[in-house]
Structure 1
Amino acid sequence: MNEIFASIALIVVLITLLGGGVWVGLTLAGVAWFGMEFFTARAAGDAMAITIWGSASSWTLTALPLFVWMGEILYRTNLSENMFRGLAPWVNALPGRLLHTNVIGCTIFASVSGSSAATCATVGKMNIPELRKRGYTEAQIIGSLGGPATLGLLIPPSIILIVYGVSAELSISKLFMAGVLPGLLLALLFSGWIVVWSLLNPDKVPKAETSLSFKQKLYEARHLIPVVLLIASVVASIYSGIATATEAAAIGVAGALVLSASQKALTWDSFKASLFGATRLYCMIALILAGAAFMTLSMGYIGLPRQLAEFVGSLHLSPAMLIIALGIFYILIGCFLDGISTIVLTMSVVLPIIQAAGIDPLWFGIFLVITVETAQITPPVGFNLFVLQSMTGKQITYIAKVCAPYFLLMVLALVILWFFPSIVTALPAQM
């Protein structure tokens, strides 16, 4: 009974603080302090100091600010322009033509960004004007950008996979490898939808531009070489075991600086802007993680995770039913919270449940990230919707509508991963 009363009290405090506009990190810490102070005998101040220091000094977490900085550096180069020039000649023969540059461009930039919003903004800055100029429909331009931009959360290096790995105490390198094949699967599904749509609506696809010879296509593809080399250096260093995730992040930063300098985009002002931008973003994430670590400790002392795990266990749900229930839960909660907050807010409760059900935490991490991806294109708090609104001037409801097919494709990907879990586990098993 005491646990039920504590749960209700904590939920009320959580909703009150979030509804009052308090930062998520401070909200989590406040709820944790409330729980420790009123429902346990442990001194809240002492526990908070020790827990926050422990979470902030985690070596695993050092990869996160480095990958954020790498994305900030590349954001200030002409990477997206080069990607369009390098990709466009190769997709003209496909049904849907240049719409595929959104999917491929997002897949490539996701590999060097780790952020969904950064992927959407960077690729969109170049592709939206170019596709409009060539006569593509507004709905397909926005939809084929909003959906694929979510790949920034999944394809390594992924900021949110690092957050999950720290929360679940899993190998970041193995999580990165686990995200590769599901990320490519999603990219194929997105491109497949564009093909199907274009075959059903051939009159809405502009005619192909002047075709180039194979030699000319190869010449244009030279613009892709720098970013492909950067991706290969980061991913290969992790996969081969030469570098840890943190060391690979340092390699990525060094490569991004070299790439930026080679494009003459590296100035003292751009260097400072990238550093300050990365610092601001990481401080926000670190505050959320610190608050979540304290909340995890608080709920552990109160006994909520154990009680909830026992309750779910008493329902005797099959693993499949449990995954369906969790999928619906995360899609709904993702409509109101950002991905990082969603993960750190629920991990202390959900992780014991999925472990008790015999579900692989590595597989569950990829499942969780994809469900969080869907929240990037669902109102009212879909970050990609806000980014697209700022670039196109369209209403949030319109953008969400044209992104809806890509939401359904992500749900389809979850079903495929359930029946074929080796898509997730194959690469990590080789490490």
Structure 2
Amino acid sequence: MDITIYGPLLGLLLLLFLGSGIWVALSLLGIAAIGMLMFSNAPVEAVMPSTVWSALSTWTLTALPLFIWMGEILFRTRLASDLFHGLSPWLGRLPGRLLHVNVLGCGIFSAVSGSSAATAATVGQMSIPELKKRGYDEPISLGSLAASGTLGLLIPPSIILIVYGVSVNLSIGKLFLAGVFPGLLIIALFSSYIIVWAMLNANKMPPAEARLGWGESLKRLRLLLPIVLLIIGVIGSIYAGFATATEAATIGVVGSMLIAYFSGGLTWKSFLESVKGAMHTSCMIALIIAGAAFLTVSMGFSGIPRALAEWIATMELSPYALLFALTLLYLVLGCFLDGISLVLLSTAVVIPMVEAAGIDLIWFGIFLVLLVEIAQLTPPVGMNLFVVQGITGRDIVYLTKAVAPFFVLLIFAIVLLTIFPEIAIWLPETMKTAR
């Protein structure tokens, strides 16, 4: 059957499967099998097992469940409380005061979590009650939390960067390096907005609290020591070239267990819960990776990616025009798919187009993650909105309005990344040269 018929037909079937409530992974496997049976002579019973095994047996992928387990362990510790009390004396000196705890707290926790939802939930469970008790404006409090939680997708060790790296066969270490400066850029944008908002809305800010002395402020910094040491152990070992991503993940698991033990959060019950949580999430992601890999092979037999790449080449679109089109595509898809599904579902088609346009795949990975961050904030499937809703009980419409300014800032970050690609690629290139 002609490719022009094959593509739309399978796309329609996939939308039908997803809309019916079938698991994303099973939808991908089913569509891939249907495609091969209808449009290829290749034996499905031979291709599927070999493809699934190849996709899941890569050594790089072993870092994924370890980083997820690390985040599950830390989720059950006093880490969020220590972050709040360690940062608050210092951030209270800025316009916006403790609102910055959401941003910087999420940024720091992202460096040992890798998960957007876990970051928002962990920091939010501590910060939101404290901000509410002190009388901070609720929309800016909830909006900054939901938006800052997305940093868990970008700041290494990002689970979604691991998934992207495995699916596109890129270095996880380089992707981690590429995510550092864009993550800092977003932190700076969010904090700058809070400063401006606080200066323009002084009547919505609570009365300033008595400042702690420099001695007490310095004393509270020791609360940040465990997480700083863990970040150095995990991320520093990768950047310094001492460990692979998998070895760094092992360091992270051991370090998080030590933090949990000494903080009193490690019990037999919490240990089993962390294992179950990590196993549940890891199996879900692994099944989606398997389905996406099989769909990629199925589409390869059809020739769709090659045809699309050739079509893009004949249109002679500039890289900027292609990126604009992809941005619109991902903004729409992000309303209906979670981040990991969005990445795995699209890479088989999008990556050949991106390569044909001469766009760096490391840079595109960061560009894609920024779009996925926005997807975490867009209803009806905005995961971070669900997390904050679970903490506060507020409805999705209210939270969507609260997060709107940060949504615009994420779009602005994408524009800056596009105009200045060095934001993402400078560090991995520099580190490669240094080594």
Shorter-chain TM-score bucket reads over 0.9
Q: What's the secondary structure of 2:155's corresponding residue?
A: coil
User: Are 1:141 and 2:141 an aligned pair?
Assistant: yes
C-alpha contact 2:312 2:356 (8 A) present in aligned 1: no
1:186-197 matches, within 5 Å, as 186-197=186-197
1:166-177 matches, within 5 Å, as 166-177=166-177
Aligned twin of 2:82: 82
RMSD: 0.8
| 1: CA distance, partners of 2:12 / 2:333 | 16
User: Are 1:23 and 2:23 an aligned pair?
Assistant: yes
Q: Read off the aligned partner of 1:324 and give its amino acid letter.
A: F
- Per-residue CA deviations over 1:369-391 (Å, capped at 9, x if unaligned) read 00000010111100001111111
- Per-residue CA deviations over 1:206-262 (Å, capped at 9, x if unaligned) read 122111121110001111110011011111100010000000000000100011011
C-alpha contact 1:386 1:396 (8 A) present in aligned 2: yes
User: Are 1:109 and 2:119 an aligned pair?
Assistant: no
| 1: CA distance, partners of 2:201 / 2:311 | 50
TM-score (norm 1): 0.99
Aligned twin of 2:270: 270
Percent sequence identity over aligned pairs = 55
Q: Read off the aligned partner of 2:258 and give its amino acid letter.
A: V
| 2: CA distance, partners of 1:51 / 1:21 | 25
Q: What's the secondary structure of 2:179's corresponding residue?
A: helix
Q: Read off the aligned partner of 2:339 and give its amino acid letter.
A: G
C-alpha contact 2:73 2:260 (8 A) present in aligned 1: yes
| 1: CA distance, partners of 2:154 / 2:193 | 20
Aligned twin of 2:343: 343
C-alpha contact 1:173 1:238 (8 A) present in aligned 2: yes
| 2: CA distance, partners of 1:76 / 1:260 | 8
- Per-residue CA deviations over 1:86-133 (Å, capped at 9, x if unaligned) read 000001111101000000100011111100000011000000000000
Shift of 1:79: 0.5
- Per-residue CA deviations over 1:126-159 (Å, capped at 9, x if unaligned) read 0000000000011011011011110000000000
Please, which runs of 5 or more residues in structure 1 have no aligned partner? none
Aligned twin of 1:62: 62
Matched residue pairs, number? 431
Which stretches of structure 1, 4 residues or longer, exceed 6 Å deviation after superposition? Answer: none
Shift of 1:310: 1.5
Please, which runs of 5 or more residues in structure 2 have no aligned partner? none
C-alpha contact 2:96 2:194 (8 A) present in aligned 1: yes
C-alpha contact 2:186 2:410 (8 A) present in aligned 1: yes
| 1: CA distance, partners of 2:90 / 2:169 | 42
Shift of 1:308: 1.3
Aligned twin of 2:388: 388
C-alpha contact 2:260 2:266 (8 A) present in aligned 1: yes
C-alpha contact 2:161 2:369 (8 A) present in aligned 1: yes
C-alpha contact 1:93 1:208 (8 A) present in aligned 2: no
Shift of 1:60: 0.7
Shift of 1:75: 0.2
Which segment is superposed worse, 280-289 or 201-210? 201-210
User: Are 1:96 and 2:78 an aligned pair?
Assistant: no
| 1: CA distance, partners of 2:16 / 2:355 | 31
Q: What's the secondary structure of 2:400's corresponding residue?
A: helix
| 2: CA distance, partners of 1:269 / 1:93 | 40
- Per-residue CA deviations over 1:278-310 (Å, capped at 9, x if unaligned) read 000000000000000000000000011011112
Shift of 1:7: 1.0
C-alpha contact 1:84 1:101 (8 A) present in aligned 2: yes
User: Are 1:323 and 2:323 an aligned pair?
Assistant: yes
1:126-165 matches, within 5 Å, as 126-165=126-165
Aligned twin of 1:306: 306
Aligned twin of 2:33: 33
